[in-house]
Every structure is written in structure tokens, then in C-alpha cells.
Amino acid sequence: MCGIVGYVGPRQALEVVVDGLRRLEYRGYDSAGIAVVNQGKIESRKKAGKLANLEDELSSEPMSMSSTGIGHTRWATHGAPNDVNAHPHLSEDGSIAVIHNGIIENFATLRDELRSQGVELLSQTDTEIVAHLLSAQMKVSENLPDALRQVAQRLTGAFTLVVVHADSPDLVVAARRNSPLVVGRGDGENFLASDVAAFISFTRNAIELGQDQVVVLTPQDVLVTDFFGNHVDVLEYEVTWDAAAAEKGGFDLFMLKEIAEQPKAVADTLLGRIDDSGTVTLDGLELEPEYLASIDKIVIVACGTAYHSGMIAKYAIEHWTRIACEVELASEFRYRDPILRPSTLVIAISQSGETMDTLMAMRYAREQGAKVLAICNSNGSTIPRESDAVIYTHAGPEIAVASTKAFLTQIVACYLFAMFMAQSRGGVDKAAAREIALELATMAHKIDLVLDTVVGVREIAKELVDANSVLFLGRSVGFPVALEGALKLKELAYMHAEGFAAGELKHGPIALIEDGLPVFVVVPPPTDELHDKIVSNIQEVRARGAKTIVLAEEGDSSIDEFADHIIRLPKCPALLQPLVATVPLQVFSCEMATLKGFDVDQPRNLAKSVTVE
């Protein structure tokens, strides 16, 4: 959560930082603030609400020109989202400005220590204490980087801290523990941010910082040490997408753009990974054949939408490999004393690679002796760096808070892994593998076909805009699709929505059915053994007055008389159907939120990358 930007170089820092904050606002939009170093002083502005409020303030009261600055968009943890709690926070003498992402877990102890020394705290945040601790440490340390190293050693929890000092006009210093931070290396200028999107307009050369590291930026240099001042070698990489990929590109919303990009994202995730014979190759899956053969259990850990992709993966993995697979909420995983062995493979799924719950779950798994495979969209982020192997999803930047193309590419990555495991262990014959591979290779085109038919979905949204509640039903892989459809509607339209396994309907949830209640039903292909059972479920809810919106394969006429609305899906194997069935539900939720006048890209109370537990 929280967007962080830092800059030092020849440009006007205010313009660079505000531009970076605009690109990072998806990470938090409770408040925004900026600080620049100017002629031996720190100038700061901050406002509650979205970045536009800060920009209005800067228009009416311009800041001084400066070549060094830091900025922040906030997702509130400690303290209400107001002007006072917004970042940056300053030391008492105004010489130090600090911005922060994460949670400092021992802040109460440190706060009480500062109060006992007569320090007056102005905010309710855990961040402000860092400014005061740095101010005190500067009296005994040689310089700002050394002071930050000393203070960082005293902090517990997850934090990225970025600091400037009034007496150091060409210096930005930052510390990282369990929270994302990346350096952008330019020509005579350098950048800091919580995501490369902040500086992609200026440079594609990036350095991802490791755990417990401090980075010192000047216009010419990037110096990285650990918290104790020891030099650290860094690995620089090139970002493979450009600034245009993080723009709306003519669409009204980032979410609409990202929904439309799903065929390309799926195709890019498949690119070079399946040959003409149907053989799957996965670069980055650096696990020994002997280990792959020894795996007797797979545990998938993930949160939110990624958890739903893991539920779909379970069906594919068990079907194609015959290896037992469990799916766990990452936030609960390590607190229930799970049984893990060296023969257990843990798969951690995260779009950002920084999801704190997932990161802590995988660290726990490694401590227990299990190996970890990451499925991730962000090159160089923490989760793949700390994993034993990684499959990147190549979805490109996803700016809208509600995940769309990241979800589909996670599913594709899971399919690829399941097929790879089946082939490496002999779980499927070559003919079956080729057939599956050829079907998977057609899915990008079939998603495109679905996108061509979503006008009808928008019309359904207009009809249902005043509904108080919506239910989603599915069986087998359609059940996670139902859960994802409900989650999207909650996230975007702020409606009560629930997803159920259709077979469980009669065990309680059918009591919710009343006259006019909209119920979406994901119907498997007619060849699937569950097809007729879910048609019976449709009849059960229709008989009790529900308005049924049925997602069914083209040519399936068995549902016609039981559906108030039909959304047609291209033909594909039942296991691959989530790739086409999910898309209309994304469009429906987006349209419902738009009709209600809500901010689709930045829904209330949410942030894109959840970097706190």
C-alpha cells in the first residue's frame, strides 16, 4: 500500500514527484503530500483525500523550485485520513522530512520514549516518531545515512522509509524492511519509488532493494548498504514495458483498458512456453527433476483474487498430475500450524510480489523445510526473489485496484505448471498433453470473442442497477469464478454479493432466494458430468422467484427456458472455462459501479498492493 516517490537530479523535483504520485495513486488515496529541499529548508504540503486535492493546493500556493524532493500517497493504518496524519512528517525543528509505507510495530514504546523526553507529537501516526528519532540521532551520527541506519535497527515491523534533510540539498536516503522499494537509475539523476511505474517515463533501468537495506541517492550515485553500513552488491535490470503501458490509452478507465488487454496478456504469458509438440517449458522453474519427482503435496497460498486463481489451479493440478493439492488463505496459513515436509511444494501467488500475508506465509513454509514456487507479475519483487523458483505472468502493469488481467494470467501460469508437472512425472500421455496445449493456445482468441459480446452484459447491468444483493453460483472450476464475480461486485459497486458452490444451495443459502433476486450461474459445457446438475440448480432458484443470468456455452439450448438472460461463452474444455467465464463478470461489476457513480479504478478503502498484515 502507500505510494512513495523520491527524486534527486537536474529536473524540477516537484513536477517529477507529482507525476510519480499520479502513477502510484492506485496504491493509496486517503491523502497525499510532498516535501522539497530548498535553500537550507524543508518545504512541505499535504492534503487529505485524493491527489487532486494536493494539486489544487499546489496551484494556489506554489512551492519553491528544487532539485530534490519526496512524495507520498497514503492508505491509512495508524490515524485517520486527515491533513495532520498525511505524510511527510517533520522533525520538531523542521530539518527532516519522512515518508513511510508499512507499519512500525514497536511504535508505542518508541512514542512513549519520545514523550518522556519532552517531544511533542502532532499526529496519530507511527511514521512521525521516525522523524524525531532521526533528529535525535543526527546529534551523534556523522550524517543522514548513518542516522537512518541506526534508527532502522531500532524499528520492528514492515517499513519503507524515505528521508530528506534541509542541510543536504542533493541527497535522498531510504531504508527497506518487508516493504517494496525500487531504485530508478538515470543519467545524472536517480529515483526512488514503491513501483517502477512512478519513474518509467524517465528511465527503465531499475534496482530492486533487498531486505534490511539502506540506499543513498545523489544525482550521480546509488550506494546500497545493509543496516550496519556494510556494502551490498545490487542487480540492475531493465523494465520491459514503457510509460504508455501505464496510461489509459483512450479508455475512460484503467479497468476497462485492462479488461481489453486480457487476450494479449494471456498470449504473452503463453509465449514461448508451449512448443508444437505440446511440451511445456518454464524458464525460471529451477527445481531439480529429483525434487519434482518427490513432491507428494502441493499447497497454494494467496489472498483475494489470487486465492481464487489458486482454487482453480487445484482442480487442474490434481486432475493432470494426481498430486494432492490444498489452497490456503495466506493470512491464515502460518497461524494454524500447517503440516509441511521437504516433499511439500508451496505455490505463492501474488500480482505485486509484495503481498505481505503471502510473503510471510512463504517465509514460514521455507522455515519448515518446504520449497516455494512464486507465480508473480512483478520482476524483481520480494516474493519471487525469496522463492526457490518463479513463473512470471507477463500481464504488464495493472493500475486499477480491482484485478482483471492479473487474475487470468495467474490461472494460465497455474495451468502451465500443472501441465509441466504432469509431463515431467508422466501424468498425462503425449497425445493428451498436445490436445490440452493446443486448446490453451486458443484461449486468448476466445477471450477476444467474449469481449466482442459484452454489450449485452452492460444492458443487464442497467436492468439490475437498483438490486440490493446479487448471488453467483458455480460448480467445479465455476465455483471460484462465482466467488470472483461476487468479490468484484463488492469491491467496485459496494453491494452485497455472495458466491456459492451450487451444490451447497440446498444446504442453507437457498433461504436467501426471494422474488427478483439476481442470480448469476456459471454452467459447465454440456459434455461435463456436472452440467445437468447445475441446470437443476437454475430451476430451483427460478422456481423461488430469482432472476437468472446464465453463462453457458454457445449452442447449449438446455438452459434456454430457465434463463432470464443468457451470456454465451465460446466452446472450450471445462477446466479452461474460467478464462472466458470470468470476463463478463468483470464487465458487469465495472458497469454497475459506473452506473452508480463510483470510482471504478480507486474503490473506497482499498489499495492495489497490500503490504501490511
Contacts of 54 (CB under 8 A, 6+ apart): 18, 21, 32, 33, 34, 45, 46, 47
176: nearest Cα among 268, 99, 115, 108 = 99
Helices (H) and strands (E) in the chain, counts: 19, 24
Show the cell assigned to 284.
525460471
3-state secondary structure 475-488: CCCHHHHHHHHHHH
- Please identify which of the residues 2, 325, 414, 590 carries the catalytic annotation: 2
Q: Is 303 a catalytic residue?
A: no
Interstrand relation of 96-104 and 469-474 (parallel, antiparallel or unpaired) = unpaired
Helix intervals (H) in 334-374? 356-367
Q: b vs e for 315-337, b when ≥16 Cβ sit within 10 Å of the residue's Cβ?
A: bbbebbbebebbbbbbbebbeee
Residues 350 and 26: their CA atoms lie apart, in Å, by 16
Residue reference for cell 483512450: 250
Spell out a b/e string for 139-151, using b for 16 or more CB atoms within 10 Å of the CB, else e.
eebeebbbbbbbb
Helical segments of 162-232, H only? none
Contacts of 370 (CB under 8 A, 6+ apart): 299, 340, 341, 342, 344, 345, 346
Q: Which residues on neighbouring strands pair with residue 367, listed in sequence order?
A: none
Is 608 labeled as catalytic in the residue annotation? Answer: yes
- Active-site pick, 257, 371, 405, 608: 608
Query: Which are the catalytic amino acids?
Result: 2, 608
